[in-house]
Structure 1
Amino acid sequence: MNYETGGVGHDPQLVLPAPPRPRRRRTLIVAIVAIVVVLALAAFFFGRGSPDAAAASATDQVPRVTVIQPGRRTIDRTLSATGSLAARVDMPVGVAGEGGRVTAVLVQPGQWVHAGQVLATIDRSVQQETAVSLAASIKVAQADATLAQSALDRANRLVDRGFISRADIESKTATRDAADARVKMAQAQLAQQQATNGRLDIRAPAEGLVLTRQVEPGQVVSAGTGTLFRMAQGGEMEMRALLAESDLATIHAGSVARVTPVGGTAAFTGTVWQVSPVIDPTSRQGIARIALRFDPALRPGGFASATITSGAAVAPLLPQSAVQSDEHGNYVYVLGAGDKVVRRAVTLGTVSDDGVAVAAGLDGTEKVVMSAGAFLNAGQRIQPILKAASTVMGG
């Protein structure tokens, strides 16, 4: 057989394909080179920072910190105290008369009563019979007085005729007067018995709140039995606040207080009406008595806390977040020269919900770091952001 190597159309199986053209590969390589050149040029031009740009970059590294200028404001000085609640005037009520067997108890603890209201009654059957007897004796005496007056009137009509002597007139007049006196005596005895019977009832000496009851029906009571009821006159309560000797010296009668009983959330406004003139030599404490209006939530014997306003002072007021403390004491950071923070020792005054009063260490014109003090060091440079104290401290 003859094989022709020069012809390509005679045997398709022996014809080799033509090699691909490298155009697409060259395009990809050119694109990659162009990107590298662009990145290099960008790095060259933008990498050459100016001094201002460098400074701006350095500034970005300085922390931005909020500062306030507190100024000075009038701040109420307050004291915190604890103590017990009690009736301002605690009235014990007992037997005022001769006593006897209790027939009924008409009130319960917690009930409001009026002056003279009957709290309990005592059996008076014997005393009532005595009163009936005395009432009858009055009628007998009045009858005797009427007869004596009639006899005197007849004698006066006969004396001018000479039938009756002057001595008889005087005798009959004395008889009449004695009869009138017996009437008055019987009336006084009845009134005395009625008053005695009235005292058998246990009555409220004044308007107020019944606190305790220590008597039951059927009980025999007398003047020696003791207290049957305890009352709070007018329902007025008080808190007996315990204060240190130094604190007691700063308050006076008329100081306003807010009292919160333990276990409740309601606070009651009261007024200091008495400051103890005596200090306990052991505890070095005294009592301030705070008068309170009646309220069912104020229960004698309960425990309460009080905040007493003892006066006012003019001082800088800072948020509590501005004050730091360590083993050397309390301090704040203030803005110094070159926007660097400077540590400033302070003496704290009253601490309240409004903030912390600074008794010493600041005059109010400084710019004080508000809340980032724990993350700063003395001498560190910051970017201060001044914030109005009124927006921070609520006015």
Structure 2
Amino acid sequence: MNYETTIDADSATEFGKLAEQDGKTPSSRRKWVIGAVVAILVLGAWWAMHGSDSAADGQDTAAQAQVVSVVVPGQATIAGTINVSGTIAARREMPVGVAGEGGQVAQVLVDAGDWVRAGQVLAVIDRSVQSQQIASQSANIAVADADARLAQANLDRALRLVEKGFISKADIDRLTATRDAANARVRVARASLGELGARAARLNIVAPAAGLVLTRAVEPGQVVSSGSGVLFSLARDGQMEMQARLSEADIGRLSVGNVAEVTPVGTTRVLTGEIWQLSPTIDPQTRQGIARIALAYDAALRPGGFASASLRSGTIVAPLLPESAILSDEKGAYVFVVASDNKVRRRDVTTGEVSARGISVIKGLSGNERVVLRAGGFLNAGDLIQPVLTKAASSQSASAK
């Protein structure tokens, strides 16, 4: 398609004048415009390339410098505790059985749960045979005593006659020996009676000491003997204990006299006791020892039952961190600390006591570091952050108190 433009003479004359004034022809002007456009396009392309890189770098830096809560834990005094479980038992259990010949039980005078005093009769074994033996021996004593009196009377008469020469010295010696033998028979008879009385007394099953009856394994009419085993079980003075099993590492942290708080299973009561004995040996199979915790009598304590205990093992001074600040991997426990350039650094730590207040760090921290409180799992060593300081858990606990 052809386009035509009509230019009159006057217009042509004006155009020529303008061209002469600029010193340029229309074609050269067009070239100049095209060159300027190309230059602008090149500058725009360069800006698009380098400007976008700079913007991207700025965005990455902003993304890395995320806001993170940090804490300066300081130093806290932490009461060492060891949580254990174990069984309740009598501190000094006294098994009671038949000490004598035995026989048929005539009476049982106590039951499980009763308190008894030392020497109190718990059960009585039939002694009808022994009673007859005692009566017989009492008669023998009377006979022997009569013989002794007769021998003494004969000796006294002989001594009065020997002065008149009617009795020889040999007769006196014989009568003296007869008198001494009669007295000896009296003593033997009385000793036999005492033996029978002691045997009969042993048919009473008595408490060896004051305490609480834990079990009763005998009924009236039952035939018992020295081989019948334990008939009654007593807790001396009602004293109880918890036998707590601990690892050899934990038992090494304890000593006799450490306080323990014991909670029997099935109750919410917390009973206070103290360690009175630590096992001198470690079980080679379980690698555990036993701490025996003395407890005063309480109705909640039932021998054979289970209980949990919190043992106090002294105090330590160390930084205290919440669980969220402690991380772990195949190398062990660690935390992220914030350096002066606000970049995080890994710090390996050794943890200690765990309590409701937090976890103590016994190695790796002085307490003056800024430690990442949360979101440590989303960080890597060297990341740049914007730290926001929060109050330490130990300080919060102290202010709450």
Q: Determine if contact 2:68/2:375 at 8 Å carries over to the other structure.
A: no
Q: State the 1:344 CA deviation.
A: 5.0
- Name the structure 2 match of 1:252: 255
- Name the structure 2 match of 1:27: none
- Name the structure 2 match of 1:48: none
1:150 counterpart (129, 153, 177)? 153
2:209 counterpart (206, 209, 212)? 206
Number of corresponding residues: 333
- Counterpart of 1:130 in 2: which secondary structure? helix
| Residue 381 of structure 2 corresponds to residue 379 of structure 1 | no
Q: State the 1:293 CA deviation.
A: 2.3
In structure 2, the CA distance between the partners of 1:108 and 1:275, relative to structure 1 (3 Å rule), is: same
Q: State the 1:233 CA deviation.
A: 2.3
- Name the structure 1 match of 2:311: 308
- Name the structure 2 match of 1:110: 113
Q: State the 1:268 CA deviation.
A: 2.3
Instruction: Write the distance in 2 (CA, Å) between the matches of 1:235 and 1:389.
Output: 42
Q: Determine if contact 1:340/1:382 at 8 Å carries over to the other structure.
A: no
Q: Determine if contact 2:327/2:377 at 8 Å carries over to the other structure.
A: no
Superposition map of 1:228-247 within 5 A: 228-247=231-250
- Name the structure 1 match of 2:127: 124
Q: State the 1:276 CA deviation.
A: 2.8
Give the residue type in structure 2 aligned to 1:113: V
Q: State the 1:350 CA deviation.
A: 0.2
The two structures, once aligned, show a CA RMSD in angstroms of 3.0
2:295 counterpart (292, 299, 309)? 292
Q: State the 1:237 CA deviation.
A: 2.1
Instruction: Write the distance in 2 (CA, Å) between the matches of 1:383 and 1:236.
Output: 56
TM-score w.r.t. length of structure 2: 0.73
Instruction: Write the distance in 2 (CA, Å) between the matches of 1:255 and 1:114.
Output: 31
Q: State the 1:154 CA deviation.
A: 1.9
- Counterpart of 1:381 in 2: which secondary structure? strand
In structure 2, the CA distance between the partners of 1:303 and 1:352, relative to structure 1 (3 Å rule), is: same
Instruction: Write the distance in 1 (CA, Å) between the matches of 2:84 and 2:218.
Output: 37
1:107-163 CA distance string (max 9 Å, x none): 111222122111100111111111112112222222221222222222222221222
Q: Determine if contact 2:105/2:124 at 8 Å carries over to the other structure.
A: yes
TM-score w.r.t. length of structure 1: 0.74
Superposition map of 1:315-394 within 5 A: 315-318=318-321, 320=322, 323-325=325-327, 327=329, 336-337=339-340, 345-368=348-371, 379-384=384-389, 389-393=394-398, 394=400
Q: Determine if contact 2:84/2:245 at 8 Å carries over to the other structure.
A: yes
Superposition map of 1:48-59 within 5 A: none
Q: Determine if contact 1:148/1:172 at 8 Å carries over to the other structure.
A: yes
Instruction: Write the distance in 1 (CA, Å) between the matches of 2:339 and 2:194.
Output: 92
Q: Which moved more, 1:340-349 or 1:293-302?
A: 340-349
Q: Determine if contact 1:338/1:381 at 8 Å carries over to the other structure.
A: no
Give the residue type in structure 2 aligned to 1:247: D
Q: State the 1:250 CA deviation.
A: 2.7
Q: State the 1:253 CA deviation.
A: 3.2
Q: State the 1:246 CA deviation.
A: 2.4
Q: Determine if contact 1:69/1:388 at 8 Å carries over to the other structure.
A: no
Q: Determine if contact 1:141/1:180 at 8 Å carries over to the other structure.
A: yes
Superposition map of 1:275-286 within 5 A: 275-286=278-289
Instruction: Write the distance in 1 (CA, Å) between the matches of 2:119 and 2:392.
Output: 66
Name structure 2 gaps, 5 residues minimum.
Answer: 1-65
Give the residue type in structure 1 aligned to 2:271: F
Give the residue type in structure 2 aligned to 1:363: S
Q: Determine if contact 1:142/1:179 at 8 Å carries over to the other structure.
A: yes
- Name the structure 1 match of 2:165: 162
Q: Determine if contact 2:338/2:371 at 8 Å carries over to the other structure.
A: yes
1:29-83 CA distance string (max 9 Å, x none): xxxxxxxxxxxxxxxxxxxxxxxxxxxxxxxxx9796x66443243232222222
Q: Determine if contact 1:260/1:267 at 8 Å carries over to the other structure.
A: yes
